Structure 1
Amino acid sequence: MKKRFNLLVLVFIFTCVSSYAQQALFGGQPIVSPEINADNSVTFRVLAPNAEKVLVTGDFLPTEKVQSPMGEMEAPGKAEMTKDEKGVWSFTSEPLESELYDYSFVIDGFTTTDPSNPYVIRDIASITNYFIVGGGKADLYMVQDVPHGSVTRRWYDSPGLNMDRCAVIYTPPGYENSTEKYPVLYLLHGAGGDEEAWFAHGKATRILDNLIAEGKVKPMIVVMPNGNVIQDAAPGEGRDNFVTPAFMIPNTMDGTFEANFMDILKFVESNYRVKADKADRAIAGLSMGGFHSMHISRYYPNTFDYVGLFSAALLPREDATGKVYSNIDETLKQQKKNGYKLYWTGIGKTDFLYDANKEFRAKLDSIGMEYTYMETDGGHIWRNWRIYLSEYLPLLFK
């Protein structure tokens, strides 16, 4: 009888603990958010019974004009949510085109993530949720049933910067089991980003896997370095540990990164099976990374046959007075004389850098440098940069 009593006690305790654990894990009633409906509209829900006003904000809504340190820019729009009798607020969007979208909730003025959606992206110091509407171009950004490449975080010695630094490096499917040599793309992030930006927010490795599987892109190694020269790695991953991410870090656009870029190129060509020649090297970047790509490719004018400028930050800078930024026209002319296979540039119609990019294209025209140009809707946004990468990759190493 005593044994039976002990067994019943144990069952009771286990049941209580199990019930508590489930409650802690799932936090009460299940809420589906976001829910992608049959017509590609999306329903957002959040439980906030005591809230007086709840908004959803994201790039699936019409943009708003806001003032920023860079001037007037577009920001994600906002929409009011409706509260039901259970305290659940909801909003259903219009049908959306196939794309990757970011969003957040604003609960009584406090911006927060969706507790029902575990998928988040860090962009500088902001954390937002995201979702993907498939059935179109965004299928490239999703994991498909295709061979996958490998992604590693590699530390390399940079004598010019006097530190070991981190880069995210993609090797194509089959690299580990082959003896083949591969071409290399150096893919650079924007201001406030780091070596994780193209991998996390740009979905670059998924795009590569899917386009390689479709036979549209030649297998290649892609190197995503950290363009912030005072950092050894992304915030939380380097020697400074949990430093707060910042938009503009000292020395990021003063020529230091460009002048020491050969440190990473030498590391890659010494440690990976690559074709170490101009015809098999490409460089591209978004915003600040486009600025870096333009200057690196002309400062080392016989190094890259492929150059990509995605919404490049080509505005004149007061600190752009070093050796790297001297004789720009002459080095561009030398780059042209040496020959190249592709000079690609893209910009959004409402990008705050639109006029600066227009002026740069006029400079290229004046010296007879041929280029490929793409103009898209929207502004200075990841949506455009993923499109530009998807358009740029199939043109490489032909």
Structure 2
Amino acid sequence: MRKRLKNRIWPLWAFLCCAAPVLAQPPRGPLVVSPQVNADKTVTFRYLAPQAKEVRLSGQFLKAPVEMSKDAQGIWSVVTEPIKPDIYPYSFQVDGITVMDPANVAFFPNERFKASLVDVPGDSPLVHAMKNVPHGSINYEYYPSLEGTTGSLVVYTPPGYDQNPATKYPVFYLISGTTDTEETFFKVGKTNLILDNLIAEGKAKPMIIVMPYGNIAARVAEQKSGPKPADPTVRDGDDAVKRANDFATDLVSRVIPYVEKNYRTLANRENRAIGGFSRGGGQTLRTAFSNLDKFAWVCSYSSYLSPAEMDRNFPQIGGDAARTNTRLKLFWVSVGSDDFLYKGTVEFMDYLKAKKVNFKSLITDGGHTWMNVKKYVAETTPLLFR
């Protein structure tokens, strides 16, 4: 009897002994709410750092970082001026060190900088807003890539894809910029919500969107335990062109076959589009111009190829403009007037005009930002597959 009782009491005694250190832990710090979007479109940012000497807020809605003030609990805060509705990256500079907002789960996927995201809604829903419409799905996929590595994709399927197993869809291959990841068009560009809304309004055709990771060299180095290579310093230098060609090889020989095997696609050039932002725009142009048998729709966002590279590597584009114009159902080039790539993009457009290559263009306000990218996606996707 006593032995049984002892065995029964032991687990309770052990629990109390183990729980004592937990119960003795100091209380947690104060709850921090950040960001807090206010009704007047101002935003309150907060950061808990009792020992910090200086905290500043940096964001793409600011011309320069602003000072934050500390209260008695050690919470630094600042209230901004009213912000134009959109989604913006931001971060804190804590004693000179840039950090994300630990109170915010929304972040900017990127290989280098780590920023949080604040969504300032409009008085009426913006094109990327979550609306009460049918929604598509986001899937993460892994495929066999170059040099024995495993590549990663984010794939959007439109509303109704799972409910209509006999229906096949066109595909838009959409590539992020330098240091972005395969998640950036999804988490920052809100491409899935943009398409959900446009499809619900009858403005865009239902389509699959495939978002690959653009830095093949970095992935190969990571998976083979090598050092990550620095980014090319010359946009049309030999190293940049080689990496773009490697990406094109991966997309055409690995990604497209994987997608067409695992998703219900319309597998012909008339139902394949390719587009990209920044480096992804350069990859788009080089991949498309080398594979016009694969793509009939081409969208370049905030990017270009130099006239010298066009004449050297793609003379057929301008040399036989009539054939190019026949094959490309849409050739789109867009850039912001404050974009650091504005000059080169305008020179690219002037080159195309001189060669009589047809294209549609859009020059917006603003710079090399994802606020502009969302505009370009919203403008171009309704034109695809028409």
Shorter-chain TM-score: which interval? 0.7 to 0.9
Size of the aligned set, in residue pairs, is 372
What letter matches 1:306 in structure 2?
W
Distance 1:97 1:16, change over 3 A: farther
Q: Does 1:94 align with 2:106?
A: no
Distance (Å, rounded) in 2 between the aligned partners of 1:251 and 1:377: 32
Report if aligned partners of 2:30, 2:73 keep a CA contact under 8 Å in 1.
no
Instruction: Provide the residue aligned with 1:397 in structure 2.
Output: 385
Distance (Å, rounded) in 2 between the aligned partners of 1:45 and 1:242: 39
Instruction: Provide the residue aligned with 1:72 in structure 2.
Output: none
Instruction: Provide the residue aligned with 2:339 in structure 1.
Output: 351
SS of 1:265 mapped into structure 2: helix
Match of 1:146 among 111, 133, 146: 133
* Structure that is richer in helix per residue: 2
Q: CA deviation at 1:383?
A: 1.3
Distance 1:226 1:10, change over 3 A: closer
Report if aligned partners of 1:306, 1:342 keep a CA contact under 8 Å in 2.
yes
The C-alpha deviation readout for 1:316-346, integer Å capped at 9, x for no partner, is 79xx69x992525456636525333221111
Q: CA deviation at 1:59?
A: 0.7
What letter matches 2:297 in structure 1?
Y
The C-alpha deviation readout for 1:173-214, integer Å capped at 9, x for no partner, is 221231111111011121222322222222222222232223
Report if aligned partners of 1:347, 1:354 keep a CA contact under 8 Å in 2.
yes
Q: CA deviation at 1:315?
A: 4.6
- Counterparts of 1:225-304 in structure 2 under 5 Å? 225-231=212-218, 239=223, 247-248=231-232, 253-254=241-242, 255-263=245-253, 264-304=255-295
Q: CA deviation at 1:287?
A: 0.9
Unaligned runs of 5+ in 2: 1-9
Match of 1:333 among 321, 329, 334: 321
SS of 1:123 mapped into structure 2: coil
Instruction: Provide the residue aligned with 1:196 in structure 2.
Output: 183
Q: CA deviation at 1:139?
A: 3.8
Instruction: Provide the residue aligned with 2:5 in structure 1.
Output: none
The C-alpha deviation readout for 1:54-93, integer Å capped at 9, x for no partner, is 211111102xxxxxxxxxxxxxx20011233443322111
SS of 1:141 mapped into structure 2: coil
Unaligned runs of 5+ in 1: 1-5, 63-76
Match of 1:169 among 130, 152, 155: 155
What letter matches 1:277 in structure 2?
N
Distance (Å, rounded) in 2 between the aligned partners of 1:157 and 1:61: 42
Q: CA deviation at 1:224?
A: 1.3
Instruction: Provide the residue aligned with 1:66 in structure 2.
Output: none
Distance (Å, rounded) in 1 between the aligned partners of 2:139 and 2:312: 30
What letter matches 2:158 in structure 1?
P
Instruction: Provide the residue aligned with 2:368 in structure 1.
Output: 380
Distance (Å, rounded) in 2 between the aligned partners of 1:21 and 1:146: 47
SS of 1:32 mapped into structure 2: coil
The farther-off stretch of 127-136 and 209-218 is 209-218
Report if aligned partners of 2:56, 2:94 keep a CA contact under 8 Å in 1.
yes
Report if aligned partners of 2:55, 2:95 keep a CA contact under 8 Å in 1.
yes
Q: CA deviation at 1:165?
A: 2.6
Q: CA deviation at 1:144?
A: 3.4
The C-alpha deviation readout for 1:278-312, integer Å capped at 9, x for no partner, is 32221110111111212222222243232111001
What letter matches 2:39 in structure 1?
A
What letter matches 1:280 in structure 2?
N
The C-alpha deviation readout for 1:222-277, integer Å capped at 9, x for no partner, is 111222233558x9xx7358986965599553223224532122332333221223
Instruction: Please tell me the root mean square deviation across aligned C-alpha atoms, in Å.
Output: 3.5
Instruction: Provide the residue aligned with 2:172 in structure 1.
Output: 185
Instruction: Provide the residue aligned with 2:44 in structure 1.
Output: 43
Distance (Å, rounded) in 1 between the aligned partners of 2:198 and 2:20: 51
Distance (Å, rounded) in 2 between the aligned partners of 1:147 and 1:242: 44
The TM-score, its normalising length taken from structure 2, stands at: 0.83
The TM-score, its normalising length taken from structure 1, stands at: 0.80
Instruction: Provide the residue aligned with 2:3 in structure 1.
Output: none
Distance 1:251 1:381, change over 3 A: same
Instruction: Provide the residue aligned with 2:355 in structure 1.
Output: 367
Distance 1:222 1:200, change over 3 A: same
